[in-house]
Amino acid sequence: MLPTPKKFFLTAAGAEGHSELTAFDNALLAGRIGNINLLRVSSILPPGAELDNGLVIPPGSLVPTAYGYIISREPGQLIAAAVGVGFSKDAFGVIMEHSCIGTKEEAGREIEKMLKEAFATRGMELADIKIAAADHRVREIGCVLAAVPMWY
């Protein structure tokens, strides 16, 4: 069993590659999470987890991460991804991810709507929102991702 994460950060980045996998890998590297092993998790930020924008995770670590991404092979296409964390005053947080053909602003607005809905559905008060978003104009094969890696 994994321990409950105590720290996290938000990241969003885009990159090109010569294949879909290398575009994804390059976006991970641009987002400071390219040398860790992502364990994809769903949407709950543990109670008391602290935002640490300078967090450095050891290479090769198994890291619970909520993330979304989009890959495109259409030159000139604008792709975007965003991730957001909604915070309650005294309980856990909620994480939402979104990727789309469009701008980082559009992706960010969608995240805000999804977080408001998630809190309303849970009957919780939304105290604050943090969002990270990026967009990328595809040249050959592009990828944009947004993620919330969580650490101990």
Name the 3-class secondary structure at 67. Answer: strand
CA terminus-to-terminus distance, the chain: 13
Of the candidates 135, 145, 115, the one whose C-alpha atom is nearest the C-alpha of residue 127 is: 115
Instruction: State how far the Cα of 35 lies from the Cα of 152, in Å rounded to an integer.
Output: 17
Q: State the number of CA atoms in the 13 A half-sphere of 132 facing the CB.
A: 23
Give the residue numbers annotated as catalytic, written as ranges. 37, 42-43, 97
One-letter amino acid for residue 141 of the chain? I
Please report, as a single letter, which amino acid is at residue 5. Answer: P
